[in-house]
Amino acid sequence: MKHTYYKIIGILSLALLLSGCLYPQSEKAQNQIPYEEQLNTVQNAVDNYREEKQGLVPIRTKASDTPIFEKYLVDFSLLKENGNLSEAPGNAYEQGGVYQYTLITPEDNPRVKLIDLRITEAIRSVNVQLDIFRSEHIYPAYGDKIINGLYTVDYKKLGLSKPPTVVSPYSQENLPIIMDVDGNLYVDYSIDLNNALNEYDHDYKDGDDIRSILADHTPFVPAYSLPYTLKDNEPVFMMDEE
């Protein structure tokens, strides 16, 4: 009986250890609070900060050539110092969560949105394999040509078991990771853009960058994306064809 008792205690202790110390920080309960609630809290803090600072917004300084949807990351330290927010939300990267908080249209109408860092991690993972390949070869691991200057990734050359993808924060579909001529990696959001164009009213014309339709109507920005426009009412990459 004593042996059984100690065995049960041991199992319970192990379970607590796994759920506390070893369970991924980003999966803990405090990091899974619905992001709508978190977004509203941060949005109010940003609005108050901007009002108190005569139009300034609490963002980190980024290089001028940083892609637009990753350029204006919320600086939670400024919000805390100014008394607008006690701490970053539990699902934020700063707290071990899976989202970075970013702003769109910061000059005119700053709106708080999210970058899903699981996409960042997927891109980084493929980049590691790509760097290994490029250290032994002159060119990146180009796959099939999509349009002029844009290719699929030859996953076999990188030692991957299947074409690299990311899970869409919009549709939960697997979105392809693609590559430009310099070996830079991007996510192909064609599926999500097509869905959004059919679902939401818009006045986009040929030549317009249509990516904002995703950020305007959802909590997420299309991170690691190339510009898209319309052609015959379908989303296409805003790049010249041969």
- Final residue of a domain: which of 73, 90, 109? 109
- Is pLDDT at 136 greater than 70 in this prediction? yes
Q: What angle do CA 161, 163, 167 make, to 5 degrees?
A: 110
Report how many domains make up the chain: 2
In-domain check, residue 16: no
130 and 165 both lie in a single domain:
yes
- Is pLDDT at 8 greater than 90 in this prediction? no
In-domain check, residue 10: no
| Residue, of 20 and 31, whose pLDDT is higher | 31
Query: What is the arithmetic mean of pLDDT over 14-37?
Result: 50
217 and 136 both lie in a single domain:
yes
Q: Is residue 6 within 8 Å of 14, Cβ to Cβ?
A: no
Percent of residues, the chain, with pLDDT higher than 70: 85
DSSP string, 14-25: HHHHIIIIIS-G
In-domain check, residue 3: no
Query: What is the arithmetic mean of pLDDT over 27-49?
Result: 81
Containing structural domain, residue 196: 118-237
95 and 126 both lie in a single domain:
no
**Which has the closest alpha carbon to 111: 72, 85, 79, 61?**
72
pLDDT at 26: 44
Q: Is residue 71 within 8 Å of 113, Cβ to Cβ?
A: no
pLDDT at 210: 98
As to burial, measured by CB atoms within 10 angstroms (0-12 exposed, 13-18 middle, 19+ buried), residue 130 is: buried
Percent of residues, the chain, with pLDDT higher than 90: 81
Q: Which residues contact 184 (CB under 8 A, 6 or more apart)?
A: none
In-domain check, residue 4: no
pTM here?
Answer: 0.84
Residues 155-182: tens digit of each pLDDT? 999 999 999 999 999 999 999 999 999 9
Of 16-20, 103-107, 116-120, 125-129, least confident by mean pLDDT is 16-20
DSSP string, 81-147: HTTS-SS--TTBGGGT-SEEEEEESTTTS-EEEEEEHHHHHHHHHHHHHHHHHHTTSSS--EEEEEE
48 and 95 both lie in a single domain:
yes
- Final residue of a domain: which of 73, 88, 109? 109
94 and 122 both lie in a single domain:
no
97 and 46 both lie in a single domain:
yes
Query: What is the arithmetic mean of pLDDT over 212-218?
Result: 97
50 and 159 both lie in a single domain:
no
pLDDT at 175: 98
- Final residue of a domain: which of 76, 109, 142? 109
Helix (H) or strand (E) holding 195: helix 190-199
In-domain check, residue 5: no
Query: What is the arithmetic mean of pLDDT over 181-192?
Result: 97
Q: What angle do CA 159, 126, 32 make, to 5 degrees?
A: 125
131 and 210 both lie in a single domain:
yes
80 and 126 both lie in a single domain:
no
163 and 231 both lie in a single domain:
yes
Q: Which residues contact 177 (CB under 8 A, 6 or more apart)?
A: 122, 123, 126, 153, 163, 164, 165, 166, 185, 186, 187, 188
Band of residue 230 on the pLDDT scale cut at 50, 70, 90: very high
Taking all residues of the chain, what is their mean pLDDT, rounded to a whole number?
88
pLDDT at 1: 46
What gap in Å lies between CA 62 and CA 211, rounded to an integer?
A: 21
124 and 199 both lie in a single domain:
yes
| Residue, of 182 and 239, whose pLDDT is higher | 182
In-domain check, residue 200: yes
77 and 139 both lie in a single domain:
no
Band of residue 34 on the pLDDT scale cut at 50, 70, 90: low
Helix (H) or strand (E) holding 51: helix 35-52
Query: What is the arithmetic mean of pLDDT over 56-69?
Result: 94
